[in-house]
Each structure stands twice: as structure tokens, then as C-alpha cells.
Amino acid sequence: MIQLNEILSKNEFTKEEIIYLLSLEGPEKTALFEKSSAVKLATIGNKVYYRGLIELSNVCSKDCLYCGIRNSNENVHRYNITDEEVLEVSKFAWDNKYGSIALQSGELRSPAFTKRITNLLKKIKEMSNGELGVTISLGEQDEATYQEWFDAGAHRYLLRIEVSNPALYYKYHPGDHSYEERLECLRALKRIGYQTGTGVMVGLPFQTLDDLADDLLFMKDMDVHMVGMGPFVEHHDTPLYKYSNLLLPKEERFTLTLKMIAILRLMMPDINMVAATAMQAIDPLGREKAIKVGANILMPNITPGKYRDDYKLYENKPCTDDAAEDCKNCLEARVHIAGHEVGYGEWGDSKHFGK
């Protein structure tokens, strides 16, 4: 415990110290979680902010080996939400005082897609008198596209690096994916002035504690404003499924993700961190647990119900049967159970932004 207390009193860790923290069990693991919880409450308080998640489309040009909606998966029924439906659910978010929405989709790169998103952003801003915050997560695009969407009203962008070790990155992203291009996208987003978010999956086959420690150092080095980390959850229709025998049990992937959130909260006390939906795919109280150890953002799913089953990135994705209203009531209760309150009507921007 002496060694642990000494490490926990710092906010900069060596790689070896991070690996040590990731390996904690029993009362020492509890001490880590108590510390990260205290640091969060002291730095950014107990508010949890909503980003109403709209899963625009599951059409994707990419083939990430872990993802259920990858281009080559022929068993996916592909959809595209209409603009009217996007505006309708954005209005639901606005009427219910969700401070922000988040538009997410498979990766598409075309002038028509760019234009469609630009027009949608303008309409969403117009509908809410500019007051609804907008996060987007639409993959890798060129800088001019990012700039156009920023000018149209998006102000936060989420682009997970997925794994910061380039060798592992290429293992999961063969073909024409480029690690360097993904990095360059993150740099471009920061240059333009987005609140920039990245993140990783935890518990992928072949990933080690060494890799995860490097992931946390990567996020600190990139000086991002927001982070979304979630456990890897397998999907039977993906090439990575054949390595399922190499995976940690789901509960261990879950606990490892909690430790990643807790350690990053100590390293970057004032960033925004998402309690990822994938946490709940493993543990029914997964997102509450993530909030307790350091997360402060929830993404209630407001995608129209008829599409939800088709945005299956992984198996056992929660809330695919719920209407947006059910999700709202259930989430608020969950936030209260975790001893927190919902920041209704507030953007809840990253306090790290602009520093």
C-alpha cells in the first residue's frame, strides 16, 4: 500500500507505474477507484452531461476487423436515416433539455455526404437557435470537410485511435487503412478548433498491458479534450471472432476498462470522458460504474427504434429495443444511483478545452 499511495499522490506516471496500476486487484484496486472518483469530483464535479446519440447510417466504406457493420459483412441490413428523422430526434433532444447531440455513422467520404452533413448541421442549429451542442463522429475526412462541418456548427469531434501501437493498428486494419492518416486527422481537428476526442478499445486479442499503458500516454501526449474508451466486445460476423479464444473473460475486459478510465482521470483530471455503451453490454450497471470511477458523459441512444437493431457493432448491444423516452427515464435513474446529477440544458464542454 505504501508504494500505491505514493503513486496515487501524483498525476504523471511512468509506463511502469501505469502497468502496475492496471494490475491492481482487491483493496488496492478499490483505492485506485476511490482516488479517481475523488479527483473527478474535486476537479469537474458530479454532473453528467448527455449527448443524444443518433446513429445516422450503418453504411461504411471500411473494413475494421472487429466491427459488426464493416463493409464486407453481407449479413447487415444497411440503412440511412432520413434528414426529417434526424431533425425529429434532434428536436426530441432539444425539447428534453439534452445539452447536445452526437451524430455517428459508418465512414463515408464523398462530396454528397459532406454536403448532406453540412446541411443537416445548419438545420439542427437553426431548429435550436444555435443552442444544441453538436458532437460528430464520422470517421476520417479531409481537413476541408472537417472545416466545413465546423463552420456549419459542429464543435466536437470523436475519432478513436482504437489502438495507439501502429503494429497492432495494422493487425486490425489491413488493406488501405493508414495509421499516419488517422493521426493526421486528429491533428487537423485540433488545428481547426474542435474539442477533439479520441479513445481505444480495451481487451482486444493480442493487446497487452504494455499496449494499454502506451494508449494512456498517447492520449496525454496528444493533449485531447475528450476520451471514449470501451471494452472490445466480439461480433460473430467479423474476422476477429476467430481469435475469441485469446480474449480475457468479458468481466476482466470490463474491469480493465474501469482501471483505464480511473488512471486517465488521474493523468488528465479535467477532460470529458464517456461512459461507453459497450460497458453496459457486459455489465448491466456498466455505465454507472464507469461514472463512479471517472467518466462524466453519457450518450443516450435517440436513434429511431426501427434502425437500432441494424447498428450492431458488437453482440448484446443494449437498448436496441427501447424508445428514446425509455432510455431517458432509465438513464436518469442510473445517474442518480451513481450519486450524480444530469446537467440538463448545458453543453458540458471539456474544461480542458482552451487551456
Binding residues: 60, 64, 67, 137, 162, 182
DSSP of 257-319, one letter per residue? HHHHHHHHHHHSTTSEEEE-HHHHHH-TTHHHHHHHHT--EE--B-S-HHHHTT--SSTT-TT
Task: Compute the residue count for the chain.
Answer: 355
Residue 210 neighbours by CB under 8 Å, 6+ apart: 15, 19
Q: Binding ligand SF4 by CB under 6 A: which of 99, 106, 205, 304?
A: 106
Binding mask 92-131 for ligand SAM (x = CB under 6 A): ------------x-xx------------------------
CB 183 within 8 A of CB 213: no
Task: Using alpha carbons, select from 210, 181, 223 the residue that is nearest to residue 62.
Answer: 181
Is 136 near ligand SF4 (CB under 6 A)? no
Annotated binding site for S-adenosyl-L-methionine: 162, 182
Beta strand 47-57 pairing with 297-298: parallel
- As beta bridge partners, residue 197 has 158, 226
- With CB under 5 to 8 Å by kind, the binding choice for 137 among ligand SAM, ligand SF4, none is ligand SAM
Binding mask 3-42 for ligand SF4 (x = CB under 6 A): ----------------------------------------
Is 183 near ligand SAM (CB under 6 A)? no
Q: Binding ligand SF4 by CB under 6 A: which of 18, 21, 44, 69?
A: 69
CB 225 within 8 A of CB 352: yes
Which helix (H) or strand (E) segment holds residue 168: the answer is helix 166-172
Contacting range for ligand SF4; rule: CB under 6 A; set: 59-67, 197-205, 302-310, 347-355: 59-67
Q: Nearer to ligand SAM by C-beta: 197 or 343?
A: 197
Contact set with ligand SAM (CB under 6 A): 66-67, 104, 106-107, 137, 139, 159-160, 162, 201, 230, 232-233, 235, 278, 313-314
